[in-house]
Amino acid sequence: MMNADSNLMQDEEDSNETAFTRKYRELEKAYQYQLDRLTPYTTYRWLSTSGLILIFMLRILLSQGWYIVTYALGIYLLNLFLSFLQPKFDPSIEQDAAENEVEEGGPGSSTSNLLGGQNMDGDEFKPFIRRLPEFKFWHSATRATIFSLIATCFEFTDVPVFWPILLVYFLVLFSITMRRQIAHMRRYKYVPWDYMRKARYTGSK
């Protein structure tokens, strides 16, 4: 009798779990469907995200609080932006591999070709492959901004802090990381924007 009751309870738990899993998958598919619909509207997507960031900044300025949340959001957006600027494959590793291949007698390949652009004959266009694609960059930035706005609705997230220190630290960190990124781009001769190169290649054809 006890075994029958335990089996019945187990069956009910399995059915509830199955129903929950099914509902979760349905919501996940619906969410992904909406994201797929937004994919081609790059300008409108970023305008809406910029509006959310503006609302968040107004919230911070008017309330004079939640500086820790603002700092965390700024650091996260900076990391996303750096990943957006970086190539998917590390050019230093690719360059070392190409140099080793040349030393061993292989044809090798130039770093500029690995990072995108035209080949030596100028008859092929290779787009710049990002470490973080534009859509994932937008999605992560929008989601982080929404979570930050939600965090400003709770008092326990408003940690007292001297905000000028956070501002100075963020500006210094931004300056160092961007200077390092620009130096990396100059060293390996790549540009994370392929619009001008694409237009130039199309015009030459």
CA distance 107 to 72: 47
HSE (side-chain half, CA atoms, 13 Å) at 98: 14
Q: Are 86 and 131 in contact (CB under 8 A)?
A: yes
For the segment 143-189, what is each residue's pLDDT rounded down to a tens digit?
A: 999 999 999 999 999 999 999 999 999 999 999 999 999 998 888 88
For the segment 111-130, what is each residue's pLDDT rounded down to a tens digit?
A: 555 555 544 444 455 677 88
> The whole model's pTM is what?
0.74
Give 133's pLDDT tier (boundaries 50, 70, 90): very high
The contacts of residue 129 (CB under 8 Å, 6+ apart) are: 87, 88, 89, 116
Tokens of 97: 């591999």
Whether 91 shows a pLDDT value over 80: the answer reads no
For the segment 46-84, what is each residue's pLDDT rounded down to a tens digit?
A: 999 999 999 999 999 999 999 999 999 999 999 999 999
